[in-house]
Structure formats: C-alpha cells, structure tokens
C-alpha cells in the first residue's frame, strides 16, 4: 500500500469511527483504499449546482461583466438569476459533504454560459449551467479553470470522486431564424419543420430551389456525404447576430451547418431529436465533424482534470449512433488516464418512470447507465403517495430489461429529488396536506432509506439533507448559503424551524444525521452495494415491502423491510432457510427466524428495519 493509499484508508476509518459504530457481525468489510478502484455502485453521490451552494469569492459574482442584471446575470433576489455560489465555496464545504457520507460529487455544468437570454420581459440567467457558449473553460461566475482543478484535486486527496454534468444536445440560444425575427426584438414562434416537409435538398420546402446537391440524408454518416451539406437554409434561414458571430468555443461550433435549424421541438417523434430544446441551438450530432469535435472537447476535460465520470444532460434528444461512438471514446480516454471505472450516466427524463423507455437507451444507445427515473417514480408513488408496494416490486422486476440485466441496474443512479422535477418533501406535502410535520419527516427518511438500501447508486440532491421542500425547476433550486430570494425564505423546511435565509450546513439536522447513518450502513455492508435483490413481500396496498439483498461473495442475506403505511405492521416474511441467527443493522430485528425460512418483522408506521443473517445451519 502506498503512503497515499494509507492516508485514504485511515481517513475512511476515521470517518466511520467519528460518525458512530454499527451493530455488525464480524469485522467491517475491506473497502478499496484507492478511490480509483471503487465500482460505481460503491459510491454515494452528492449532487449540487455550484451557483446555489456556497459563495466564497464575491469578486466573481458578476462574472467579470459590467452593468445591471440584464448583462451580468447576477441578481441574488431572483430565483432565475446568478446568486454568487462558486467553486471555491464548494471546496470549502467538502468536510460537510464528506461528513454526510458522500464519496462522489456530481457537479452541475461549470462551462461558460450565455449570462442572460430570453425575450424582453422573459429573461433569465444561465446560473444552472445548461446554456453553454464555451465548452472549454469554466464560467467566470463560478471561478477559473484553476479553481476547478483545485476542487478535483482536493476531492481526490479525500478519496472522493468528481462527476461532471455535461451537455451535447444543444448550446446556448445564439442562432436566430429570419422567418421568426422581428424588429421589436420579441420574435415570433418558430414551429418545428419536419424533414419530409422541408428536405435538406430544397430551400423552404419540396417546391423550393435545389440546394445541397448530392446529399443523401443524415442517415449516411460519412465525411463525403456531409461535405455536400453546405447550405443550412432548408427549413428556416438561420443567422447569428454580428456581436455573437464567434461567441462559441471551440470555433467550429459557430458554423451554422452543424445545427439542425428546424425550429422548436415538441418533444415528440422526429422533433425530439431534431428540434430546438426551448429555443436552444440544437446540435447536428449526426455530422461526423460534430462527433469528432465533442469527443475532443470532453476527452480534453478528462485529460486536463482527471475527473471520474460524466452525467449527460438531455441524452434522449441525441441520436443513438452518437452515443455508440462517444461512450467508448470517453471510456478509452479515461482508461489511458488511469481511471478504470469512469462512470457515465445519461438523463432520460421520463417522469412516468417507464423502465422500457429508460432501458432502451442502455440497449440501443449503449449507455452504461441512465438516471433511474423509474425508482424515483415508484418511491414517490408509494411513500409520497398511496399506491401499493407492488409498484416497488414492479420497478425491480424491470431490471432484466437493462443491457446487462440486474448487474447493470446496480449502476443506475437512484434519486428521490432533483433540480428539475422537485423535491420529495414537496410531493409528500402535496399528497398528504393534512399530515403533521413529523409524518412528512418520517416519509422523507423512509424514501431515502429505500434509496440507500436498494440496488443502484444513491444520489442526494443538495438541500434534501437540510429539509428543503421546493417544487419543480427554479422552486427546487434553493440556496444552501443564506438566500435573499423571498420565495425560498418563505419555504417551510422539514425537520427544522430554520429558513433558507441563514446558511443551511447544519450537521445536527435530523435528516443529515439520518442520511449519514444510511451511508455508513451502506459502506459497511457489501450486500447493499453489490447484492442480488430478492423481493420477499409486496402488496397492492400501502404497507409492507421486503427485499433481501444477497452478498454475491459470501451469500450473506440482508433483509430490508419498510412500512409505507400509517398503521403498524407485523408479518412473517421468507428468508433463506439455512440462517439460524439475525443481527439488527437498523431498527428492531429478531435474533432468530421463527422457523427455518420464515422471519418475523414488526414495523412502526413509516419505518424500516435492516436485519443481517448470521450463522448458517
């Protein structure tokens, strides 16, 4: 073991001791001393938007721009503008994040964004990071390239990984269409124009003048074919205002030929791949030059910073062939950098949680993993809703659909809250408006317990551990440092009387403490990270749900039982018939089976137990 590895091992041991001991049988299992050796399912991920996390350097609040918020994008009183959080702020809070038990950071996009965009009266800022102009450098609102390197290095010294949020589907809104522009600057809607109604080889429709002679369509993805696509004015007449002619970097991104230019997406059918996402410039990812360009861009971030993975925004809106080329290239680039377990997971935002939709992108696109919207839907339906626990079982049954089956499902990042679709507490309060605060707290703890004990990679969205309860989009992007947004500060937090007006980094918050315990439990039990899932009980009504996680190395069985109902539960559930003893890892567990293969569980309302097998007969 190297001196560096010894320091990491000592750090991990110190964390477990400092956080409290677990009632385990035998010694705690050895974990990889070198963070590079950990598999994706060994991580606990903490997700944050840097602008909303902590502000350590007020000098960069305006991103080096002069003028009012319409230029700088900075207005800490408005939920749609920059608030001042930066990479230095994130770095100084690593103790807080690691104390929660997180082993990996998922950092929202850090690339230079268009500071402000939108029609007059409907403007907002790129504080979230998804309106990129320069894909090669850090946005000055967040800091510098050196700040990002310092963050990654500091995380790595602690044995933590860093996953970077990236975008390929689109850039900031720079391209305009002459058919939609107007003198007053407001513009007109640009409805989607299909490939059939507006073919690449005619200007303005089938009856228009011939252009792009010899182009055989975007399905023929050769250099020679795309060399014939010289005129981008087949559907609309795109142009870029003079002031922004070279605003994008690398410079090839300023070439109009590398965009679809077909108008607004309806997010259905053809337009889902070819349409502009909310007015953002939709990149022609079928073009070989674009494939090469993005491989070079994001391979460069691996080379320069040694990051450990990518979360890919708007994955479903990019053609599968792009991912089939991009993913192997990134894995190879990471391997060459000495990163053997580079984790790539795509956002396929199916809020209905349809496993078939999610799994398709692992089978067809060949993505290693996708964000587990099916898990999130099942937990919201059962713990922040009134559906039966068979919804959870149905979700697990769908694991066979992913490329690689249940092994692949263990790499899916699971979550109960996120920055687009709202926080779990918001949905719990919406579903149970008469519930007291204690009940909402218990529901939130139970939802997270499912996330930490079931297959997948748990992702905690910053603020959940402090009881944030905002709704969708901006409403759920509260400041962790003291906020000046009135709607955030009026929010009723869970588990505390504090508000977001004061900094929210309290390690004594009941949710922080509960999640830290769950993280310790998961770290100590290989079955919870790598184990096969065997559903022991589910019902069409709220109440008992029981799953055994089976350690693939030892056969050790860890039974997880939850009660999604508001009445106590007492039941017998099946376990392996060879076990003669059980130990409580969380909650009250019987010391032995009632009979071979049958184990009694008693659960309070909205509670959970974790019981581990001991000796075998």
Alpha carbon distance 184, 190 (integer Å):
16
Q: Write phi, then psi, for 374 (nearest 5 degrees).
A: -70, -40
Q: Under a CB-based contact definition with an 8 Å cutoff, are residues 599 and 559 in contact?
A: yes
Strand partners, 163: 106, 309
Residues 131 and 172 sit within 8 Å (Cβ to Cβ):
yes
* Residue 106: exposure state from Cβ atoms within 10 A (0-12, 13-18, ≥19): buried
Name the packing angle between helices 373-383 and 437-453 (round to 10°).
Answer: 150
Hey, which residues does 560 pair with through a beta bridge?
547, 610
Structure tokens at 173: 């809104």
Q: End-to-end CA distance of the chain, in Å?
A: 38
Main-chain phi, psi angles of 37, to 5 degrees:
-85, -15
Q: Which of 147, 165, 313, 479 is catalytic?
A: 313
Q: What three-state secondary structure class fits 363? A: helix
Determine contact, residues 197/271, Cβ cutoff 8 Å: no
Which of 496, 514, 497 lies closest to 449, judged by CA? 514
- Residues 563 and 581 sit within 8 Å (Cβ to Cβ): no
| Catalytic entry in 134, 231, 347, 372 | 347
Closest CA to 515 of 29, 45, 157: 45
Q: How far apart (Å, rounded) are the C-alpha atoms in residues 330 and 395?
A: 30
The 10 Å CB-count burial string (b at 16+, else e) for 460-483 is bbbbbbbbbbbbbebbbbbbbbeb
Question: What DSSP string runs through 127-145?
Answer: TTS-SEEEEEEE-TTT--H
Compute φ and ψ for 147, nearest 5 degrees: -65, -40
Q: Is the peptide bond before 242 cis (omega within 30 degrees of 0)?
A: no
**Is 403 an active-site residue?**
no
Q: Are 552 and 531 in contact (CB under 8 A)?
A: yes
Which has the closest alpha carbon to 146: 91, 203, 68? 91
CB 372 within 8 A of CB 358: yes
- In order, the DSSP letters of 463-527 are TGGGT----SGGGG---SSPP--HHHHTS--SS-S--TTS----TTSHHHHHHHHHHHHHHH-HH
Is 347 designated active site?
yes
List active site positions.
Answer: 313, 347
């Amino acid at each position: 073991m190297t001196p560096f590895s010894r320091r990491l091992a000592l750090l991990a041991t110190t964390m477990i001791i400092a956080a409290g001991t677990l009632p385990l049988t035998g010694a705690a299992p050895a974990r990889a001393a070198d963070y590079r050796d950990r598999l994706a399912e060994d991580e606990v991920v903490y997700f944050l938007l840097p602008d909303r996390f902590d502000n350590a350097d007020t000098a960069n609040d305006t991103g080096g721009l002069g003028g009012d918020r319409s230029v700088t994008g900075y207005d800490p009183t408005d939920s749609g503008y920059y608030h001042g959080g930066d990479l230095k702020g994130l770095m100084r809070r690593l103790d807080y994040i690691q104390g929660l038990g997180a082993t990996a950071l998922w950092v929202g996009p850090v690339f230079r964004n268009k500071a402000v965009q939108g029609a007059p009266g409907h403007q907002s800022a790129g504080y979230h990071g998804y309106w990129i102009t320069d894909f090669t450098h850090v946005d000055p609102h967040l800091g510098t390239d050196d700040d990002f390197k310092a963050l990654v290095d500091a995380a790595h010294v602690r044995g933590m990984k860093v996953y970077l949020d990236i975008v390929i589907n689109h850039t900031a809104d720079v391209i305009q269409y002459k058919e939609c522009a107007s003198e007053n600057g407001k513009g007109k809607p640009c409805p989607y124009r299909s490939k059939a109604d507006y073919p690449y080889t005619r200007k303005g429709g089938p009856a228009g003048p011939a252009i792009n002679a010899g182009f055989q369509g975007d399905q023929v993805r050769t250099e020679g074919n795309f060399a014939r696509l010289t005129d981008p004015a087949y559907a609309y007449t795109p142009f870029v205002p003079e002031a922004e002619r070279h605003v994008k970097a690398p410079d090839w991104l300023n070439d109009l030929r590398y965009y679809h230019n077909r108008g607004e997406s309806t997010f259905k059918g053809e337009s889902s791949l070819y349409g502009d996402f909310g007015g953002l410039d939709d990149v022609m990812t079928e073009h070989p030059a674009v494939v090469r360009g993005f491989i070079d861009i994001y391979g460069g971030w691996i080379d320069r910073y040694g990051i450990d993975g990518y979360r890919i925004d708007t994955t479903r809106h990019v053609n599968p062939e792009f991912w089939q080329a991009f993913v192997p290239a990134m894995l190879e680039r990471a391997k060459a950098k000495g990163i053997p377990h580079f984790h790539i997971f795509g956002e396929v935002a199916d809020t209905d949680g349809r496993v078939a939709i999610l799994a398709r992108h692992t089978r067809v696109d060949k993505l290693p993993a996708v964000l587990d919207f099916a898990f999130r839907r099942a937990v919201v339906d059962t713990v922040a809703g009134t559906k039966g626990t068979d919804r959870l079982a149905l979700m697990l049954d769908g694991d066979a659909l992913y490329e690689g089956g249940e092994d692949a499902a263990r790499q899916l990042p699971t979550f109960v809250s996120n920055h687009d679709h709202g926080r779990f507490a918001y949905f719990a309060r919406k579903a149970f408006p008469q519930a007291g605060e204690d009940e909402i707290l218990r529901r939130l703890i139970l939802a997270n317990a499912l996330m930490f004990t079931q297959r997948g990679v748990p992702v905690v969205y910053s603020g959940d551990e402090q009881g944030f309860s905002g709704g969708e989009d901006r409403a759920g992007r509260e400041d962790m440092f003291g906020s000046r947004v009135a709607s955030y500060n009026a929010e009723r937090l869970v588990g505390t009387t504090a508000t977001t007006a004061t900094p929210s980094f309290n390690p004594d918050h009941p949710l922080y403490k509960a999640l830290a315990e769950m993280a310790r439990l998961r770290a100590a039990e290989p079955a919870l990270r790598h184990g096969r899932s065997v559903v022991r009980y589910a019902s069409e009504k709220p109440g008992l749900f029981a799953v055994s996680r089976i350690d693939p190395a030892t056969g050790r069985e860890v039974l997880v039982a939850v009660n999604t109902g508001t009445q106590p539960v007492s039941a017998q559930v099946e376990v392996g018939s060879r076990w003669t003893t059980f130990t409580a890892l969380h909650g009250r567990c019987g010391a032995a089976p009632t009979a071979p293969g049958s184990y009694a569980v008693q659960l309070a309302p909205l509670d959970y137990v974790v019981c581990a097998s001991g000796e075998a007969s």
